[in-house]
Amino acid sequence: MSAAPNPNDLPPDSDKLIADAARFLPIGAAAMLARIVMSQEPVSFGWIARRMFFAAVTACIVGWATDGYIQSQGVRFAAVGASGYCAPEVADFAIRWLKARGNAEMAKVSGKIKTKKK
């Protein structure tokens, strides 16, 4: 078992990364929560948790990616919120595409296997 990492061994920018994540994760989650609260559809807790997770992670990644490009903090927060708002649809599309692709591959493989009957 390895020892816990020494905080002095972390890169100097790690504090900024942690601070940015603490700012951007709630923005993405709040954007998704606002959509869920305004929605009229009945949804399950798992559906809400999955969508809020995707929204928060996407918002955090977009926040880090726009760090050096967008100088205005307000515009940066708007980009982070907008990415968190649309992230679940992109994730749902990716999941549906992967399932369809996997089913197509399974159909091709299962069609090639022939059993001999005696």
- In this model, does residue 112 exceed pLDDT 70? no
> What are the tens digits of pLDDT across the range 56-72?
888 888 888 888 888 88
Q: What pLDDT is attached to residue 5?
A: 59
Q: What is the pLDDT of residue 98?
A: 93
Amino acid code (one letter) for 21: A
Which amino acid is present at 62?
V
Tokens of 75: 């515009």
Domain boundaries, the chain: 13-112
Percent of the chain with pLDDT over 70: 81
Return the SS3 of 66.
Answer: coil
Q: How remote is the C-alpha of 74 from its chain's centroid?
A: 22
Mean pLDDT of the chain: 79
Q: Is the pLDDT at 82 greater than 70, yes or no? A: yes
